Amino acid sequence: MYSLLGFLITVGILVTLHELGHYGVARWCGVKVLRFSFGFGPLLFSRRFGRDQTEWALSAVPLGGYVRMLDERDRRDDEEPIAENDLSRTFNRQSVWKRIAIVGAGPLANLLLAILLLASMYMVGVPGYQPVLSQPAAGTPAAASGLQSMDRIVAVGGRSVMVWQDVNQRILNADITSEAMLTIERDGRSLKVPLALAVMTQDDGMGNPLERLGLHPYAGTMVRGVIADSPATAAGLRVGDRLRAIDGAALDTPSAVSRLLSHAAGKTVELTLVRDGVTMTVPVVPRQETDESGKTATRIGVNLMGDPEVLERHLITVRHGAIDALVMGAMRTWDLTVLSFKMIGRMISGSASLKNLSGPITIADYAGQSIQAGFQQFITYLALISIGLGVLNLLPVPLLDGGHLLYYLAEIIRGRPLPERAFEIGQRIGLALIVTLIALALLNDFSRLL
- 288-336 confidence digits (pLDDT tens): 887 666 678 888 989 999 999 999 999 998 888 899 899 989 988 998 8
Confidence at residue 99, expressed as pLDDT on a 0 to 100 scale = 94
Residues 6+ apart with CB under 8 A from 288: 265, 266, 296, 297, 298, 299
Sign of the CA dihedral with 281 first, then 287, 293, and 295 last: positive
Q: Cα–chain-centroid distance for residue 60?
A: 28
Looking at residue 155, the DSSP 8-state letter turns out to be E
The segments of the chain whose pLDDT lies below 70 read 1-3, 76-79, 201-208, 291-294, 359, 364, 449-450
CA neighbor of 393 nearest in space, from 95, 64, 99: 64
The residue type at 432: A
Catalytic site residue 292?
no
- Residue 152's DSSP bridge partners are 132, 185
SS3 416: coil
pTM: 0.72
The reply to whether 222-309 shares the fold of 141-213 is yes
Q: Give the closest residue to 422 by CA, choosing from 411, 438, 432, 436.
A: 411
pLDDT for residue 274: 93
pLDDT of residue 430: 82
Which one is catalytic: 19, 185, 270, 309?
Answer: 19
Assigned CATH topology for domain 141-213: Pdz3 Domain (2.30.42)
Q: CA–CA separation, 140 vs 256, rounded Å? A: 13
Query: Residue 437 class from Cβ within 10 Å (0-12 exposed, 13-18 middle, 19+ buried)?
Result: middle
Sequence-distant (6+) residues with CB within 8 A of 397 are 403, 430, 433, 434
How far apart, in whole angstroms, are the C-alpha atoms of residue 91 and residue 30? 9
The structural domains of the chain, with segments of one domain joined by +, span 97-125+322-450, 141-213, 222-309
User: 222-309 domain in CATH 2.30.42.10?
Assistant: yes
Tell me, what's the pLDDT at 450?
Answer: 65
Instruction: List the end-to-end C-alpha distance of the chain, in Å, as a whole number.
Output: 19
